[in-house]
Chains A and B, each alone.
Chain A
Amino acid sequence: MSNLQPTKGSAKEAAGLRYPTNGKTIYHRPLNRTKTAELSGASFAYLFSEMVNYASKKIVSIQDLEKRLNTAGHPLGLKLLDLLLYREPARTQTRPLTIIQLLHFIKLTLWGHLFGRAADGLEKSSDPATPDEYMIIDNEPLVNRYVSVPRNMDQLNCAAFVAGVVEGVCDGAGFPARVTAHTVRQPGEEEGKEMWPGRTVFLLKFAPEVMEREGFLGKG
């Protein structure tokens, strides 16, 4: 244990960093220790509720609020990409090289790590004018479980936070993209009678250079 002791503990303490009495910080823990650990859903709900509250102070528009939630999630995605790749079995431990690989990684690994299940769907935009758009579908986003959006803000979807995480993963993997969250009703269902009233579509719009690269890879 003594060899884990930070060498200049007392000097760092004076600078304002505090160490636990046994000298073991979060960086001394093995990265896989919390792999299967679970968190309390209620404490997350309260924390997220306060995050949304904080983000909605002094906003000019709904887009502003979504932007802030997105920004809060972005660094989380960048860090999660590294952690999740590290935890993959050794032979699949390469970073995703194509859009499809990346989307599968997000749908299965990222969703599995964050929400304990895979995302409910993956689609490519059917519109020929926007070949750079892909969609990840979640029927009941965990972050929105207890959130009721007021009538006057009905275009808001608080899953913008998750969109930020996804955007962070895409950016970190070298696929710069813009990700937004939208509440979209399942086609053919009436309002108020839907099976999944909180069905959320995460729209990923990749940057032009990504599409260009993808085109070259396809030919090769």
Chain B
Amino acid sequence: MPNVSSAGRTIKHKNEGVLALIIINKAGGLIYNRTFAEGLNQLNTNDYLVLAGTFHGVHAITARLNPLKAHQGATPAGTRPEPPSGLEVLETENFRMQCFNTQTGIKFLLFTDTLQTGVNEGTMRRVYELYADYVMKNPFYQLEMPVRCDMFDRKLNSYIREINNSR
């Protein structure tokens, strides 16, 4: 668990909770990115695309790594082993990244502060729900393409603002 000094705490105080959201499609392409706090370091568009592609690759590798595989018994007949979930959480001194991989292969990356104040599994599910509602039910959205839906932006912003302010 990284230590947060009291000085660091005061500086960070403004930027707590959810900092950014990235959505990656099943081919590893970036389809959505948004930041939710003031004064964050910004990446340029190209870097975002590289980040999404790299993460997609890393995620695929982590889904296959298993140091204990040899010791596991075979699954009982007629059942299937749980699909590998791959990387779920990445923690550094400065942020925490949570990855949610849907059944359809879309990845939601939520960047939060290290204490992940007010952020939990429910947050991820709610973001997925907003995506399912305001992106998938939008007649003008084309699958696998970048998300440009005003309604989604608006609802996501108000939801994130709500949890960032509620602490």
- Across the two chains, which residue of chain A brings its CB closest to B154? A197
Query: Are B133 and A148 in contact, with the CB atoms below 8 A?
Result: no
B50 part of interface (Cβ distance < 8 Å): no
- Across the two chains, which residue of chain A brings its CB closest to B147? A148
Over the window 129-149 of chain B, the binary record of Cβ atoms lying under 8 Å from chain A Cβ atoms (1 yes, 0 no) is 000011001111100000011
What are the residues of chain B within 8 A of A158 when measuring CB–CB? Answer: 139
A215 part of interface (Cβ distance < 8 Å): no
Given the interface pairs A42-B137, A49-B138, A52-B139, the reply to whether A147 lies near B148 with Cβ below 8 Å is no
What are the residues of chain A within 8 A of B82 when measuring CB–CB? Answer: none
Which B79-100 residues have C-beta < 8 A from chain A?
none
Over the window 148-161 of chain B, the binary record of Cβ atoms lying under 8 Å from chain A Cβ atoms (1 yes, 0 no) is 11111010000000
- Across the two chains, which residue of chain B brings its CB closest to A198? B151
Which A52-78 residues have C-beta < 8 A from chain B?
52-53, 56
Band of interface residues on A? 10 to 19
Which A189-204 residues have C-beta < 8 A from chain B?
197
What are the residues of chain A within 8 A of B154 when measuring CB–CB? Answer: 197
Of A48, A146, A151, the contact of B133 (CB 8 Å cutoff)? A146
Query: Are A146 and B148 in contact, with the CB atoms below 8 A?
Result: no
What are the residues of chain B within 8 A of A197 when measuring CB–CB? Answer: 150, 154
Give chain A nearest CB distance to B132 CB in angstroms. Answer: 9
What are the residues of chain B within 8 A of A48 when measuring CB–CB? Answer: 139
What are the residues of chain A within 8 A of B150 when measuring CB–CB? Answer: 148-149, 197
Give chain A nearest CB distance to B150 CB in angstroms. Answer: 5
- Across the two chains, which residue of chain A brings its CB closest to B138? A148
Of A45, A50, A51, A150, the contact of B140 (CB 8 Å cutoff)? A150
A46 part of interface (Cβ distance < 8 Å): yes
Of A42, A49, A151, the contact of B139 (CB 8 Å cutoff)? A49
> Which of B133, B139, B152, B154 is most buried by chain A, counting CB atoms within 10 A of its CB?
B139
Which B101-153 residues have C-beta < 8 A from chain A?
133-134, 137-141, 148-152
Query: Are A150 and B134 in contact, with the CB atoms below 8 A?
Result: no
18 contacts between A and B (CB under 8 A): A45-B133, A46-B137, A49-B137, A49-B138, A50-B139, A51-B139, A52-B140, A56-B139, A146-B151, A147-B138, A147-B139, A148-B134, A148-B138, A148-B149, A149-B140, A150-B140, A151-B148, A158-B139
Residues of B within 8 A of A (CB): 133-134, 137-141, 148-152, 154
Residues of A within 8 A of B (CB): 42, 45-46, 48-53, 56, 146-151, 153, 158, 197
Given contacts A45-B133, A150-B140, A197-B154, 10 further A-B contacts (CB under 8 A): A45-B137, A48-B139, A146-B134, A147-B140, A148-B134, A148-B141, A149-B150, A150-B148, A151-B148, A197-B150
User: What 5 A-B pairs have minimum CB-CB distances, sorted nearest first?
Assistant: A52-B139, A146-B137, A148-B149, A49-B139, A45-B137
